[in-house]
A and B are shown apart, each in its own frame.
Chain A
């Protein structure tokens, strides 16, 4: 039984979804609905109580919940509807959405346009094949963050953290603030996975040792974690004999990567890029399925929430335009390609006939870090059409290259755009 057809339905009310809903409404879509599985809007920001949000958007350094609150309030003021505590179970290519909730029951609704903003899940112990027993006390850092910051419980007393991702480092500080003992942070790569600022303010500030090129080789403990065995590794991640250590602890936190959550996207027939883990998108964040857009961490993992807000805004505007039948599909999309030392480029395609004065943002992650000044260049065939000077490049820090209006002629003539890194 279908309820009705909404103009734009946004799935997820984190920063990506909120920005998309607001932009869609502001672009003229009247019936904009947010579907959120949590009890309130804000997504993951509700548990990210630390600072670092809004430096670009508001020129302020806000904690996550405060950043979210601004958008939640604006969404309410704009009359955007929200179904809370509601889970989307299915989406079809024709944009029929099946949801379930305690309050509304099990129902179907239709949308003229959908913005997918489901964010990420965390990489698990099984996915890194961490050997040992299976006691209580092994958590992903985000789950621990939720317990500490929302429910108010400490998952343990004595912690080891595997992975130098930002969530792990931030939790090292958070747990220390709450009286826990954080013994060690281990990172299998030879470089930091997250931001340097977090290394200084979360680990150095509290004398929490970080061991690069180290990993946990075994979890010990029958009912609850009792210790972890750690080891140094070489560049192929093979353990180096004689470097084993046993660290007594009762909790292991895993901060070993985020994976865009695209199970629903797949159900709708959205094509997923195996490199990013998210949908192939164009410069309006539309996927390969007409009328289905995606924004935020569900597309690829961002570092700064401000860029998620910006992506959500673009996606919301384009979703509204689609809902109001104001756009026709791209006839000759230009492909983007990952060149030397580039792992991926988002968006995957650009519509050369729909370029606006705001420019096109190419968001890029490198494969290997270079701690020296480089150019990040965009080439078409033989011609370099723009480049961005960076003082260094790191896999943990997304790079943005802007194609401004002066590059548009070249873009319009191009078949594909290749992004590459060149040392200066």
Chain B
């Protein structure tokens, strides 16, 4: 039996990026919600809920970049220069918000105010930049002989801005539902309100992005059975479970919020993200750089992918195991002054 190594690696990377979006999504969301906290003490609690895990969450982004480099270098070499500006914007923003975790603890008055603002600005900018990267990716990258051959601002269109707005709302939703789950008292109540607002924004923007994608990007529309103004149900029907999953997620989210459940809203928000992610995946597959490079064309030779698989096959289960254990250690409601450091 021979393994289809490029396919396996496309799957591993897809999971790594999904892990990143879900995990760093909620801690970026907390940065986005930071200005709406009721008091400085609430802000400290919000940060404390993610302080022990944010670093591990962000490591999935490093795996996304490093894994793309290692397994699909042609895609990496084509996409990164195409999205040069939003990617570097994201990195710079992540620096500011990343150091804010420690710097806020060590700062005095003015410094603390500055790093609080930097945490918000960095989280928001990183989320917008990721939205622009995603939007630019959906739009497609101009390639010539496998290398980027477009302009430096190809990624900046009304469509990509819409996607960025959607992602910001989505991260805010993940952050708010995380706080519903992990905090109590006033902050918990406030987070419930944030969750309602961001859920409404997500539902509207997700619908808008989906429609815009169908109208703007003919190839994706065709994949979903929409051609020449009519839907082909034979193509659409097998894909319907994906939007159904999204609607189900929204329903769980709304029901959870109405029944004052603690964990359900976070689960619902996660399902909404999963549905959006799967929707994108089926829209592109087997393209890795839309719309001219498949994952097979982008892949490294089998001897490289095989070695990588030996490493990832033994290490990824361990990573999932001990990351889960760390989350377990820090389970439960986070209270003010939880005794950090």
The yes or no verdict on A and B being binding partners is no
Chain A interface (Cβ < 8 Å from any Cβ of B):
none
